[in-house]
Each structure stands twice: as structure tokens, then as C-alpha cells.
Amino acid sequence: MIDKNVYGPWAVIAGGSEGVGASFARLLAEAGFNLVLIARKPGPLDETAAKVRATGVEVRTVQLDLLDPDALRTLRAVTDELEVGLLIYNAGANSYGHEFVTGDLDRFRDVIDLNITAQLALVHHFGALMRERGRGGVLLVGSLAGYLGQPQISVYSAVKAFCRIFAEGLWQELGEHGVHVLELVLGITRTPAMERAGLRMDLPGLNIADPDDVAREGLEHLADGPVWVAGGNHAATVKRSGPARAELVRGAYEATRRLVPPPS
């Protein structure tokens, strides 16, 4: 599925404790990759680490809030001696759904820093090392939200749009040096984060993806960048990219009201 000689021997997964991140960890461990798993919550982090260690690979865990100004320094203390050939940035679930002008500006800044600032720091560090070696891969987990501005998640939608455009430019830059870059675009996926957000997954007609399936898609298509839309959502990205923006935004708003209860 994925070649350890190209992308190994170590993979770093930011947001690697549950949901799609845990699926990446299991699939990579089965392929023989050693892992560095990063997450804020020690319980799910330790649980996932124990499961993947059972396959015989080496696993290091870093309990870390990527919003910490010293996050990269903390991570480097664990990884500087390792040959990291794959970076997966899956830490971006901090959507903070609220109308912008009545919301908490610091919370919105956290969304930006987690999805942009922290992501840039990790990609800059590990991407430079891969470029020097002339091989490796960077997989950034994106979202359908990045194709269309939506009420209550306007900032989250904006940072996911940044992720896609950043991946496209990075794909060209690093591709010339043998490093593959992919933004894996997810739709509705059955993860603990989605459940905590109160998403109504029982509504008829929803295209709900399984975490293992979308993680497998991402790894299988890592060399097919700059963007891969997972879970059969290609038609949705085409529709969301259409020119009738007012109509599309209003339609998305009505759909969102059905899926997620309004914020308090």
C-alpha cells in the first residue's frame, strides 16, 4: 500500500490518537513504519500507541498542545535523532462553531494557529529534511469546508481553504526534490471529533465515510497530489467551486442547520 523505503522508516502523525489519525497509525504500523504520535489527550494517545506497538513497530508518543509556542522544540527533542520520511498533519478539528462578530476572538485565533501556524512550523521543519534527502511525503488533512464559506464555521472554512492552496504550491516546490505532497480532503467522517460536535449522522442521504477507508485512500494516493478528495466527494467539490456563490452559500447554510444544532 505504501512503500517504507520511500516514506520511512519513521512517520510523524499530528493528531494521531483517535479517528482518522488513529487509522493512519494502524495502517502505517501494518506496513512496518515506526511512529511518532502527537496528541493533547493522554488517554486516547496511550491507547492507540499500545495497539500499534502490538504489531512490532517502535512507537514514541508526544503529549503536546500544538498551540504551545514551544511545540516544535518539544517535538524536535523526540525526533531529531530519527529519520522521518512522512509527516501527516491531522490536527485541525478545533472548528469553534460560532458567528464571527459575536464569538470569542481568541478562540478564532486558536483555530487559525492550529490549522495554519502550527502546520507551517511542522511542514517547514520536516519538509526541509526530506528535501535534503530527496525523498519523503507530506500529507495534510483538509476538509470539504475549505471549498465554501459557511456561517458559524467561517474561520474554519477559511483556514481549510488555505490548507489546499498551500498544499498545491508546496507540491510543486517539493516535488522537484522527490518529496510528495498531498492534501487529503475529507467530507463527513465518523470520528469522535464529529460526534463531540453534535453532528446528526442519522439523517437520511448523508455520505458518511469510515476513518479507516479515508486514511487508506490518503496513503494509497500520496503520490497523486496535490489534492485527493476522499470518500466519493469529488462531485461535491465541483459543485462548491461553482460561480453562483450566493446561491451556494445559502444552500450550505440550510444544510448545516439540519446537521448541527445552533451554537449556544
pLDDT in tens, 198-221: 555 554 556 677 999 999 999 999
Least confident of 60-64, 103-107, 231-235, 249-253: 249-253
pLDDT at residue number 203:
47
pTM tops 0.85: yes
Contacts 24+ apart (CB under 8 A), 67-75: 67/110, 67/113, 67/114, 67/118, 71/118, 71/121, 72/121, 72/122, 72/125, 75/12, 75/36, 75/38, 75/122
Q: pLDDT of 224-236, one tens digit each?
A: 999 999 999 999 9
Domain borders along the chain are 4-259
pLDDT at 197 over 50: yes
- Topology of the domain comprising 4-259: Rossmann fold (3.40.50)
Higher pLDDT, 113 or 258: 113
